[in-house]
Amino acid sequence: MSFEITTKDLDVFYGEKQALKKVNLCVNEHQITALMGPSGCGKSTLLRSLNRMNDNIAGVRVEGQVLLGGRDVYAPEVDAVEIRQRVGMVFQQPNPLPKSIFENIAFGPKVLGMKNKTALEEIAEKSLRAAALWDEVKDELKKSALALSGGQQQRLCIARALAIQPEVILMDEPCSALDPFSTLKIEELMQVLKKRYTIVIVTHNMQQAARVSDWTGFFLMGKLIEYDETAEVFSRPKDKRTENYITGRFG
């Protein structure tokens, strides 16, 4: 099996505070990997370090390696913008641009230099279809994205991430602001998307991690405590700390 993303002895510091401690993680290609743990455990820091989203935070220092398809994303010659194109991100709160649905999707490709209207329309349709939103919005692409429901907005954000043809999609609690039905739609969508993309999701919702992911990593105080196939983690965790967390006996 080839590893799409690998971290090697990854340390991340926010000033004096060490947020990640020697994390070694292998994210499998075309699978969903869930990262869970109590607040402040480092799971979001890890997610954000996979596509250098931490670069813009003052005082951040990264040591160790993050390999994307074998290449260190923190190597001096690597362009962070290119990394973020290959590794897209979906956030906790749906954050559509205050523009039309179409413009939201076209924004990324335009920034990357695409001008041909037909090509942009094709990308918009393809991305919206892939995000399972096309049928709901195909007749109102010019409508403001802000008029969509929360669940639709989040799928629009997924479509926007897909429009620049990434290899990996990072999701930071993508459903925590959504109702159960919209959550289910996103979860179903993830199962379809993983056939073409590699997905890493941070979630506070353990049932969600159990439902959607193939692999689960449990973090505590900056360390990766346990990483295994999801069914193993939830039926027979090897570390007592994992057991205590997932059974709700601490955290």
Nearer to another protein, 195 or 236 (CB): 236
Between 204 and 243, how does the x/- string for binding to another protein read (CB under 8 A)? --xx--x-----------------------xxxx----xx
Q: Please report how close the Cβ of residue 219 comes to another protein at its closest, in angstroms.
A: 17
How many residues are listed for the chain in this entry?
251
What does the angle CA 168 – CA 155 – CA 167 come to, to the nearest 5 degrees?
A: 10
Q: How far apart are CA 181 and CA 200, in angstroms?
A: 21
Give the nearest distance from C-beta 236 to another protein in angstroms: 3
Query: DSSP assignment, residue 226?
Result: E
Q: Which is nearer to another protein, 172 or 226 (CB)?
A: 226
Q: Considering the complex, state which of residue 5 and residue 246 has its C-beta at the smaller distance from another protein.
A: 246
Residue showing tokens 């990996």: 168
Whose CA is closest to 108, among 131, 92, 125, 124?
Answer: 124
Q: Does 164 bind another protein (CB under 8 A)?
A: no
Instruction: Extract the tokens encoding 12.
Output: 């991340």
Dihedral in degrees, nearest 10, Cα atoms 47, 49, 52, 56: 100
For residues 104 and 213, which CB has a smaller minimum distance to another protein in the complex?
213
CB of residue 108 to another protein, shortest distance in Å? 38
Residues near another protein, by CB under 8 A: 206-207, 210, 234-237, 242-243, 246-250
